[in-house]
Amino acid sequence: MRGLPNWSLWVAASVVGGSAYGLRWLAGVYPSWVENLYARRLYPVLATWVGWPARLVPFSLAEVSVGFLGLGGVGLLVWALWRGRRERPRLSILVGQGVPIILIAGGLGVHLFLFLFGYHYARSSVQQSFALAPPRPDPIALERLARTCIERANAELAAAAPAFDSERGSQLPMSTAHLVTLLTESFRRCPEISHLADIPFAPPKAPWSSSLMARAGISGIFIPFTGEPHYDAHQPASSLPFTIAHEMAHQRGFALESEANFVAVVVCLRATHPYLRYSGWAGAARYVLRDLAARTPEQYAAVMALASDGLRADWQAQQRYWSRYASGRLARISARLNHAYLQANGVTSGIANYSEVTGWLLAWHAAGKPAE
């Protein structure tokens, strides 16, 4: 029987992969279990322990880990090629052992991802935590919200009075460390997620590969395996509070991009510094105005006319930055991968989910809560 496939490995691969799919399906069937047992009880404990090593070092632990894994993979490939020259591997061994071992490793990786973060995709986190339901599309309410976002952004920018650069727009009127402290305090003051108030999360990190992130069109990313939110440190300052708050929202269990955007807006608006509130209003305005332009272009033009020179300068700086760094092939590949990743996790709209935050913002505005 020598050379025949190792059926035990194939059975193990089937069990590992099938169980991952089955548990994810079960989570989608019982979202209330995910909310009450996983998100509110188990995940806070996991976040504490997973993020513990990352709290001890100032650099990105995920970035260093990826570097070591890459070097290890190259070394393994070189070793396999060297050995293959001396002893040609039989196809039966590759099929019977190599392929199922790879499948088992991949299946265990999926289990680990689901355990550390992925089950959050089965929750209705904003609907549950903030007691909101997206309203029906209403052009009048959409225009009213757009005007509110622009007017409040203008006011908060004037109150913050930051210095301006002709190329990059407004400058951050504080250190990045202070910005993170203010956002952390704002998250802790959110009664909707009070069960996470005392969790010692890993701090947001600016990786050494920020320039590569920019070229991939990535302003921020959360890595659940180390519990670290990451952000592109070179992006214009006006978008930085919103971006970091978005990744911190992922870290706190808001998996959907629309919900992380919504939480980022709420947290920025509740911050004590006007520049953070400005970034929240300006970030919300971008998505609301996009929907308004698609529905009623005339009203969009009228609302855009309300934007101050400073707000326009910041939006232009953001557009210049991303058109310069995120218009290449790497950015297109990154967008496709992100789209596929979201759809694999049950987000049928894929990357369009980012813009679906407008519904939550309309519900929030209708409830009279933005001024809280």
Q: For position 370, what pLDDT does the model report?
A: 65
Tell me, yes or no, whether 1 lies in a domain. Answer: no
Q: For the segment 248-276, what is each residue's pLDDT rounded down to a tens digit?
A: 999 999 999 999 999 999 999 999 999 99
- Given 3-state DSSP classes, what are the helix, strand and coil percentages for the chain, each rounded to the nearest 5? 70, 5, 25
Residue ranges making up the domain that contains 142: 125-366
Q: For position 84, what pLDDT does the model report?
A: 59
Tell me, yes or no, whether 29 lies in a domain. Answer: yes
Q: Two tokens at 361? A: 């913002």
Q: Could you tell me which residue, 214 or 93, shows the higher pLDDT?
A: 214
Q: For position 324, what pLDDT does the model report?
A: 86
Residue percentage of the chain with pLDDT more than 90: 64
The CA-based angle 97-99-100, given to 5 degrees, is 70
Name 228's bridge partners. 223
Q: Judging by DSSP bridges, how do beta strands 220-223 and 169-170 pair with one another?
A: unpaired
Q: For position 3, what pLDDT does the model report?
A: 45
**Given the structure tokens 């194939």, which residue do they identify?**
10
Q: For position 90, what pLDDT does the model report?
A: 56
Same domain for 129 and 118: no
Q: For the segment 21-44, what is each residue's pLDDT rounded down to a tens digit?
A: 899 999 989 888 999 999 999 999
Tell me, yes or no, whether 372 lies in a domain. Answer: no
| Cα distances (Å, whole numbers) of residue 13 to 6, 9, 23, 110, 167 | 11, 6, 16, 12, 54
Q: Does residue 214 have a pLDDT over 80?
A: yes
Give the number of domains in the chain: 2
Q: For the segment 232-241, what is each residue's pLDDT rounded down to a tens digit?
A: 999 999 999 9
Same domain for 244 and 138: yes
Same domain for 359 and 264: yes
Same domain for 168 and 138: yes
Same domain for 192 and 304: yes
Same domain for 354 and 337: yes
Burial 130-162 (b: 16+ CB within 10 A, else e): bebebeeeeeeebbbbbbbbbbbbbebbeebeb
Q: Does residue 61 have a pLDDT over 80?
A: yes
Instruction: Give the pLDDT band (50/70/90) at residue 284.
Output: very high
Q: Does residue 4 have a pLDDT over 50?
A: no
Burial 178-203 (b: 16+ CB within 10 A, else e): ebbebbbebbeebeebeebeebebbb
| Cα–Cα distance, 277 to 198 (Å, whole number) | 23
Domain boundary among 88, 122, 156: 122
Q: Are 201 and 252 in contact (CB under 8 A)?
A: yes
Q: For the segment 309-351, what is each residue's pLDDT rounded down to a tens digit?
A: 999 999 999 999 998 877 788 889 999 999 999 999 999 999 9
Tell me, yes or no, whether 2 lies in a domain. Answer: no
**Mean predicted lDDT score pLDDT of the chain:** 89
